[in-house]
Amino acid sequence: MMHTATQLPEIYTSEAGAVYQCDRHNRLMLSFAGELTMLKLDAFLRLKHAVDSIDLAAMASNPDRSSDFSIITLCGCDRCFVLTLTELHTLKELLAGAKFVLELNRMLHECLAPSIV
Amino acid sequence: MKDLLRLRTSLSETIEQILNDQIKMEAEASAMYLAMSSWCDRNGFDYSAGYFKKQSDEEREHMLRLFKFVSDMGGRAVSPSVSGTQMEFESFRSVFEQALQQEIAVTQSFNRMADKCQKEKDYVTFTFLQWFLKEQIEEEYVARRALELFEVIGEEGTGLYEIDKRVPKITYEDTYED
């Protein structure tokens, strides 16, 4: 049975949401805009890449009504993200924070691994 | 907490990305050489058509070599999409000029990759790249020599016919004596 998000180790939290890690299923859990999304690491990295590649400044300066939103669909994720400029900005920050902690965790593993053996 | 980033592969995200970029570059080079082969064939340069077909096969083999490495290392090798391949060329000479330019671009790309591997301390990939770095010496030599034939033989009279005949005979000797 899957843990609830609150029982899982927290990777990163911001005012907009949180990212948790499920070690049992090797998944990341994204809590954002009132919804929980389970992501494999691959999908998480793809989501980060997709969000990072959106030009927020161009969106903000574009007078078209359609430019107020961006739709992100991902392979390996059953959720379709329809996000406003503000949401994109906060999600970008959240994902960057989570990625940073994952990298930090990787470095710790690398440093500690020899002493474990 | 598990290290999810290294659970499936020791390749870093950056290295996986540059390897996939290189896979795409090799696929594009293969497509370009095939287009050159087609152009030569259409314009009566029979020998060069065969030469470029062989070059195209080689580039595809390079692509597969990179593809296999990413897969073997547990990474995500991406089958690239290639579109917009140039089909027409200005002249027989310009085909070879472009081929040399392409090889130089590939060499520079592998140099940048090797540099990135050193910065990321990924010596497994760095060692893997040695084969390609060495291979580029030959690739550049052959492309440069082919272009030099235009100067040596000259394009007047039966010049182009002679150049075409000589192109597939270019070989690279990997010894210091020759």
Q: Rounded mean pLDDT of B76-88? A: 94
Q: HSE (CB half, 13 Å, CA atoms) of A4?
A: 1
Confirm if B138 and B171 have CB atoms less than 8 A apart: no
Among B110, B113, B153, which residue's Cα sits nearest to residue B133? B110
Residue B177 DSSP class: -
Is the CB of residue A102 less than 8 Å away from at least one CB of chain B?
Answer: yes
Window 138-177 of B: residues touching A by CB (8 A cutoff) are none
Q: pLDDT at position A75, please? A: 87
Q: Rounded mean pLDDT of A84-98? A: 95
Q: Which residues pair with A19 in a beta bridge?
A: A12, A30
- Is a pLDDT exceeding 60 seen at residue A116? no
SS3 B96: helix
Q: Largest Cα–Cα distance in chain B?
A: 75
Q: Which residues pair with A32 in a beta bridge?
A: A17, A35
First to last CA, chain B: 59
Q: Which residues are within 8 A (CB) of A90 and not within 5 positions of it... i.e. 6 or more apart? A: A14, A15, A16, A17
Place B177 in a pLDDT band, splitting at 50, 70 and 90.
low
Is the CB of residue B178 less than 8 Å away from at least one CB of chain A?
Answer: no
**pLDDT above 90 coverage of chain B, percent:** 85
A21–B4 C-beta distance less than 8 A: yes
Among A9, A42, A44, A45, which residue's Cα sits nearest to residue A24? A9
Q: Rounded mean pLDDT of B15-27? A: 96
Q: Could you read off the pLDDT of B99-129 as tens digits, one per residue? A: 999 999 999 999 999 999 999 999 999 999 9
Amino acid letter at B10? S
Place A117 in a pLDDT band, splitting at 50, 70 and 90.
very low
Q: pLDDT at position B35, please? A: 97
Nearest CA distance, B4 vs chain A (angstrom): 7
Is the CB of residue A45 less than 8 Å away from at least one CB of chain B?
Answer: yes
- Is a pLDDT exceeding 80 seen at residue A105? yes
Q: Alpha carbon B28 to chain centroid distance?
A: 9
Amino acid letter at B60? R
The Cα B41–Cα B50 span in angstroms is 8
Closest chain B CA to residue A9: B1
Q: Rounded mean pLDDT of B6-35? A: 93
Q: Could you read off the pLDDT of A25-74 as tens digits, one per residue? A: 999 999 998 889 999 998 999 999 999 999 999 998 988 888 888 999 98
Q: pLDDT at position A115, please? A: 58
Nearest CA distance, B124 vs chain A (angstrom): 16
- Is a pLDDT exceeding 80 seen at residue A6? no
Confirm if B60 and B26 have CB atoms less than 8 A apart: yes
SS3 B86: coil
Q: Could you read off the pLDDT of B31-42 as tens digits, one per residue? A: 999 999 999 999
Among B164, B168, B28, which residue's Cα sits nearest to residue B103? B28
Confirm if B49 and B40 have CB atoms less than 8 A apart: yes
Q: Alpha carbon B141 to chain centroid distance?
A: 12
